[in-house]
A and B are shown apart, each in its own frame.
Chain A
Amino acid sequence: MKKLLALLLSLVMVFAMVACDAKPAEPTDPDPTESETSEGTSADPTQTETEDMSPYIELPEEFRTWDENGMPKDITRLGTAENGMTVSLRYEASKVGTEIMEKGGNAIDAAVATAFAQFVCLPEMCGIGGGGLLTFYSAETGETACLTFREVAPMFQTSDLWVEDNEGNIIGDHKRFGGLASGVPGEVAGLCYALDKWGTMSLADVIQPAIDMARQGYVATPALISNIMNIYDVMIKSEELTEIYLNEDGLSLKPGELIRNEYMARALEMIRDQGSDAVYKGAIAEQMVKVTQSAGGVMTMEDLANYKPWEGEPVMGSYRGYTVYSSPSPSSGGTFLAEMLNIMECLPVQEFNSVELWHQLAEVQKMVWVDRAVYSGDTRFVDVPTKGLTDKDYAKSLAAKVDMTKAQSFTQGNPWEYDDREHPETTTLSVVDKDGNMVSITHTLNLGFGNQVYVDGYGFFMNNQLDDFVEGSGYANSLEPGKAPLSSMSPSVVIDPDGKPFMAISAPGGIQIYPGVAQVIMFAIDYGFGIDEAINSPRVADYGFAFFYSLELEGSPVLGELEKLGHANFTVGWGTIAVPVGIMIMPDGTLEGSTESNYGVENFSDGAAIGY
């Protein structure tokens, strides 16, 4: 009932403002339902109920990942288009991006609009309190740019604040949850920067669909419900969260039921009207500081005011004549994606889904993993031999270590020998527009719903990105004030041997991201797979401590053969080794897009490729 009343009041406000041609008043109180007091309103409940049933974007039956019983079901992933395409892990967000292009926007406009829409319909994955990475290929200049808007450690934060007990466990799990887990968010600053530099449309134009979606609603899916219920204990303690994400009895929503977030709509309107200052200097900033400090954190208004996204030279790799551009430090993703492809390029192309292919990939990934553990960090704070790690000769030296008769353990190589020391150095989306511009963004709160600290009044959660630092000091990836933690995010673009755009590819999935992205690129190039087959084929990820494999390989005899070679600790990988989304530009110029179907082992992803 409260939800209905709040909606009705909101609609009345909006209509009144439209009628006056005035901007909505800036909220001074973070409770948009404050004025909702009259249970006995005379509003026509029938009319309101009808409106309740209509989300901002209807989710067509063919994109619904559940059946009539609410049980998860898979959907067709492949989409084709002639002009522009957006792929993301929600149909509604992809739709928003493509509609922006249909209105004349370029790939950046569409990507930023999609990202804001993802704030709303993938609230557990990204949002105002998060951060991310962007890779942009300009068809006009042929140049690629990478933008980092990853969170950084607050200036008063040190690793000493994560107090350990006698057994070395962090008391209260404060590295993962609560105020001390949160970095200074970079998401809104990054999206505004990208739009301002490379976009063609106004912030008001690209953010409005997200505002409308937050206010009018979107439908709950099994994947989202599962994530909501994973933090049910957090949800039930907050009246706002209960109102947004649970039903009127405080219980789980059912697939297809509407979720509205008037609080986030208000926050997004403030961003629309004030730009990123709304988040870094204004009332939203004050509230983020308040809730973070209340939860034990040390983030200040100064931390937020000082936050700036930064551009970095893309990591460039190549694979059998194709050029791959991906994210530089503080992500390790681009660097180790390139290293992995470089080593694989030195090895023979094996039959697809053969023991030899998975063995080769596993051995290579183990070598890459030990390099990552030693040689990764924020290059604004530590030296990383990026050039050496992505050097072809270094790759050859590692490829020579692969023994096709047995699985091995590896210690790190010495990429410094191959580095001239000049240091030129999680939901996701990819967009390709009609001109061939390509954008990939991966952005995240880290864990689902981040550090589980909710920003009251504004409808979003803070991140727990500081958990991506290693514990203790003295390591390349140790926490330092102002430093960004290591990441595996690898939003990438691929150029074909003729210099033409070939693929935009990205994925969520933690440390499985760069292995997942690398294998999609490899499979497309080595086996001629289309994007749907390249993404929805089995993959493996081996880090030495565990051999992760896709659901597709469950029960396959190749696992037994791999065990005979000495591989061990087999585990089904989360999201079947990352959850890639990608677009391939076909030789005739048409676009084909797809997303991974699996999303963990319990649900299907809500991903969709939508073009025009």
Chain B
Amino acid sequence: MKRTIVVLLAVMMLLSLVACGEGKPEATLESSSSALESTEANASAVEPVGLTEAFAEYPILITSGGQSADFQMVGTVLKKQNMDFFSNGVATSAEIRDNKTLIIVVGGSSKGLGAAGIDANGELARLEELINAAKTAGLSIIAMHTGGVVRRGELSDKFIAPVFENADYAIVVKDGDQDGLMASICSKSGIPCDYIDSISDVVTVLPAAFK
């Protein structure tokens, strides 16, 4: 019951944001609420447009967006595919080095944030600094949400728009996007997005992104 109330409050907050009206998303982290605003109305109608053309290059830097273990699991999947990458859950601009592609796996975990010694706002600030530096350095950015429906909620959702709005490509486990939030962001920003059924399926689409 208690949790139901918390969830309801979170949903009400989200709905209240939606009710504020539609704004044009911009490619800055500050625009995250505007993306949320536009999500609900046509969520079910939005079908993501998948990737048609390779654009990314090695080497790859993988980081987390929210400190869940999802980014590490993506690493496990890529290793099995013999894809080379450098992984750092708390990467900053200093880790960009000669990497050409930045993969951010979104998923919030309060314990993960605690273990990293950071709170949600600190994580958002880290991501903003990293994304801005990556853009400046000309890296391609791939956003992923691979945790499915259990990795949605107040905490995880904080990181979705700031990452997805700035991506060149997105990969999403479909049952985590039942409200169409991520598909909507991608659609509005012209970002190709592929739905997959499970995290294991990352390797069915990701290699095609690399030249």
Q: Hey, which bits of chain A sit against chain B, CB under 8 A?
A: 69-72, 74, 222, 226, 229-230, 232-233, 236, 249-252, 551-552, 554-555, 597-598, 600-602, 604
Chain B interface size, under 10 / 10 to 19 / 20 to 34 / 35 or more: 20 to 34
- The listed residue (B2, B112, B115, B175) touching A69 by CB distance below 8 A is B175
By the criterion CB–CB under 8 Å, are B77 and A251 in contact? yes
Q: Which residues from chain A contact B4 at a C-beta distance below 8 Å?
A: 74
**B94 is an interface residue with CB less than 8 A from chain A:** no
| Distance of A251 Cα from B78 Cα, bound (Å) | 12
Q: How far is the CB of B7 from chain A (nearest CB, A)?
A: 9
Q: How far is the CB of A67 from chain B (nearest CB, A)?
A: 10
By the criterion CB–CB under 8 Å, are A249 and B111 in contact? no
**Nearest neighbor of A66 in chain B, beta-carbon distance:** B150
Q: How far is the CB of B103 from chain A (nearest CB, A)?
A: 17
Q: Which residues from chain A contact B97 at a C-beta distance below 8 Å?
A: none
B33-41, B68-76, B184-192: which lies at the A interface?
B68-76
By the criterion CB–CB under 8 Å, are A233 and B72 in contact? yes
> 10 shortest A-B CB distances, which residue pairs?
A232-B69, A229-B69, A250-B76, A232-B72, A251-B73, A230-B111, A551-B2, A70-B150, A69-B149, A249-B200
**B93 is an interface residue with CB less than 8 A from chain A:** no
- The listed residue (B3, B72, B80) touching A551 by CB distance below 8 A is B3
Instruction: Give the contacts of B60-116 with A (CB-CB under 8 A).
Output: 68-69, 72-73, 76-77, 80, 109-112, 115
**B125 is an interface residue with CB less than 8 A from chain A:** no
Q: Which residues from chain B contact A229 at a C-beta distance below 8 Å?
A: 68-69, 109
Q: Which residues from chain B contact A236 at a C-beta distance below 8 Å?
A: 72, 76
| Distance of A598 Cα from B2 Cα, bound (Å) | 9
Instruction: Pull 27 A–B residue pairs with CB atoms less than 8 Å apart, ordered by A.
Output: A70-B150, A74-B1, A74-B2, A74-B3, A74-B4, A222-B150, A229-B68, A230-B69, A230-B109, A230-B112, A232-B72, A233-B72, A236-B72, A249-B80, A249-B200, A250-B73, A251-B73, A251-B200, A252-B69, A252-B73, A551-B2, A551-B3, A555-B9, A597-B2, A600-B110, A601-B110, A602-B111
| Distance of A601 Cα from B3 Cα, bound (Å) | 9
- The listed residue (A230, A249, A555) touching B115 by CB distance below 8 A is A230
By the criterion CB–CB under 8 Å, are A251 and B76 in contact? yes
Q: Which residues from chain B contact A551 at a C-beta distance below 8 Å?
A: 2-3, 6
| Distance of A230 Cα from B3 Cα, bound (Å) | 22
| Distance of A232 Cα from B64 Cα, bound (Å) | 14
By the criterion CB–CB under 8 Å, are B76 and A71 in contact? no
**B199 is an interface residue with CB less than 8 A from chain A:** yes
| Distance of A72 Cα from B69 Cα, bound (Å) | 18
| Distance of A238 Cα from B61 Cα, bound (Å) | 24
Q: Which residues from chain A contact B148 at a C-beta distance below 8 Å?
A: 70
Q: How far is the CB of B200 from chain A (nearest CB, A)?
A: 5
Give 1 or 0 for each of B1-17: 1 = CB within 8 Å of chain A CB.
11110100100000000
By the criterion CB–CB under 8 Å, are A71 and B149 in contact? yes
- The listed residue (A72, A222, A226, A552) touching B111 by CB distance below 8 A is A226
| Distance of A251 Cα from B80 Cα, bound (Å) | 12
By the criterion CB–CB under 8 Å, are B110 and A602 in contact? yes
Q: How far is the CB of B77 from chain A (nearest CB, A)?
A: 7
By the criterion CB–CB under 8 Å, are B3 and A72 in contact? yes
Q: Which residues from chain B contact A74 at a C-beta distance below 8 Å?
A: 1-4
- Of the candidates B6, B80, B150, B200, the one having the most CB atoms from chain A within 10 angstroms of its own CB is B150
- Of the candidates A69, A72, A251, the one having the most CB atoms from chain B within 10 angstroms of its own CB is A251
**Nearest neighbor of B154 in chain A, beta-carbon distance:** A601
- Of the candidates B2, B6, B76, the one having the most CB atoms from chain A within 10 angstroms of its own CB is B2
| Distance of A252 Cα from B69 Cα, bound (Å) | 9
Q: Which residues from chain B contact A230 at a C-beta distance below 8 Å?
A: 69, 109, 111-112, 115
A70-B149, A71-B149 known; A554+B6 contact, CB < 8 A: yes
Q: Which residues from chain B contact A250 at a C-beta distance below 8 Å?
A: 73, 76, 80
Q: Which residues from chain B contact A70 at a C-beta distance below 8 Å?
A: 148-150
Q: Which residues from chain B contact A604 at a C-beta distance below 8 Å?
A: 3
Q: How far is the CB of A386 from chain B (nearest CB, A)?
A: 34
**Nearest neighbor of A227 in chain B, beta-carbon distance:** B111
By the criterion CB–CB under 8 Å, are A598 and B3 in contact? yes
Q: Which residues from chain B contact A222 at a C-beta distance below 8 Å?
A: 150
| Distance of A602 Cα from B154 Cα, bound (Å) | 11
| Distance of A354 Cα from B72 Cα, bound (Å) | 45
Q: Which residues from chain B contact A600 at a C-beta distance below 8 Å?
A: 110-111
**Could you list 12 further interchain pairs (A-B, Cβ under 8 angstroms) beyond the known A72-B3, A249-B76, A251-B200?**
A71-B149, A229-B69, A230-B69, A230-B115, A232-B73, A236-B72, A251-B76, A551-B3, A555-B9, A600-B111, A602-B109, A602-B111
Q: How far is the CB of A461 from chain B (nearest CB, A)?
A: 16
Q: Which residues from chain A contact B112 at a C-beta distance below 8 Å?
A: 230
Q: Which residues from chain B contact A597 at a C-beta distance below 8 Å?
A: 2
Q: How far is the CB of B169 from chain A (nearest CB, A)?
A: 22
Q: How far is the CB of A249 from chain B (nearest CB, A)?
A: 5
Q: Which residues from chain A contact B6 at a C-beta distance below 8 Å?
A: 551, 554
**Nearest neighbor of B146 in chain A, beta-carbon distance:** A251
| Distance of A236 Cα from B74 Cα, bound (Å) | 12
Q: Which residues from chain B contact A251 at a C-beta distance below 8 Å?
A: 73, 76-77, 199-200
